[in-house]
Structure 1
């Protein structure tokens, strides 16, 4: 396996789990009451990694990466269910008053987020890979074209992701208008100004790892 692909797989699995846990917190943007759920930071890295994989190792490999990304997510859900079901230690209850209640308060309400995440994850990341690959055309893309494709694919797919995730995860819990607009705004802006550079950097790092280990994938057209 190319070293760049192997490294991407490791990072991707970690980010799928982390994105779900971070999503419980809403972070203020400081602009008109707008906010984002904190999982956005890990999720944008999923976009970067899947686009990097599509660029270097093909659309089919990137699609499989998205599907197999469910595996660490499923394991994390199962482990969280087990931990919540197990009784807390008496020493914890005595030595850290309120810690167990806080843990259960956060992670006990985590399930709606967990249920919403996979739907938004699957739709948006498969869409990102598809748009990114379609924009490539028939020739090898240079750095500017790579960054432009990454920006367009990420902005479109992440706007759709925000609508799906925020609606399914938080509708009825609290007014979601500010969160929804903040989420779409933040993801589109980051997709345009940050994601292209991260994708270009990810492709460069993966190619360097492949060359260093003699496992470079063939150039795709």
Structure 2
């Protein structure tokens, strides 16, 4: 018996089911993709050394962890899609910042917070250069990270040690390249970037070897548990 038109209209449309863990990971990924660019304006000193790094490194290492976790649990192709779609929140942030900078300043802000608008425009008025540099370094390094991470995966490899080693190697190599690209494009000509560049490479490689393996292991377990619950 053929369904009537009313029955067909009443039938609920089938929607794709997104695993809860993947959904949460994608949300965090988009947030970190935007936040990394804003944090990059501040250079911080790595205790106990005198090496300087741009603070966006912390958000960017989380991008590495999330993309590697997605590659581990859902495959390289999906991880690469996440990396490419990470441009979407970046594009929205660029558009909104451009709009905000173009809008007239409220007299109440000028009177009530002297110097605040100058500080805002001093930092975010140069936002275009960091944003223009970020996507280039972002795309090259994260796609490279996913590729290396996947290539190092043995047939049926599921051990925690193997996961940690792959994560460390892929992150260290990709983040060293990211540092060279980003620092050069974003800050060359503004000041002497030698110290910052050396600090970035050393810091990202060190943190990749020390923190990323542990964070990837924890992230894989957490996302897996969320999938089991969802």
TM class by shorter chain equals over 0.9
Helix, strand or coil at the partner of 2:34: helix
| Structure-1 residue corresponding to 2:219 | 202
Matching residue of 1:81: 98
Partner-residue secondary structure (3-state), 1:27: strand
Partner secondary structure for residue 63 of structure 1: helix
Query: Are 1:110 and 2:127 counterparts?
Result: yes
Separation in 2, partners of 1:31, 1:160: 24
Partner of 1:94: 111
Counterpart position of 1:24? 41
TM-score, length-normalised on structure 1?
A: 0.95
2:154 match: 137
Structure 2 unpaired stretches of 5+: 1-17
Stretches of structure 1 lacking an aligned partner (at least 5 in a row): 214-221
Q: Higher relative CO (CA 8 A, sep ≥ 6), structure 1 or 2?
A: 1
**Matched residue of 1:88: which SS?**
coil
Kindly state the Cα deviation for residue 31 of structure 1 after the two structures are TM-superposed.
5.7
Q: How big is each residue's C-alpha offset from its partner over 1:137-183, in whole Å with a ceiling of 9 and x where there is no partner? A: 22132111000000000000000000000011111110000000000
- TM-score, structure 2 length as denominator? 0.91
1:178-197 equivalence runs, <5 A: 178-197=195-214
CA distance in 2, matches of 1:139, 1:169: 41
Structure 1 stretches of 4+ with a deviation exceeding 4 A read none
Alpha-carbon contact 1:50-1:65 (below 8 Å) kept: yes
CA-based RMSD of the aligned residues comes to: 0.9
* Corresponding residue for residue 193 of structure 2: 176
Whether the 8 Å CA contact 1:33–1:178 is kept in 2: the answer is no
Residues 1:6 and 2:23 aligned together: yes
TM-superposition CA deviations, 1:180-210 (whole Å, max 9, x none): 0000000000000100000000000001001
Q: Are 1:51 and 2:68 an aligned pair?
A: yes
Q: Is the 8 A contact 1:4 1:209 kept in 2?
A: yes
SS of 1:137's equivalent? Answer: coil
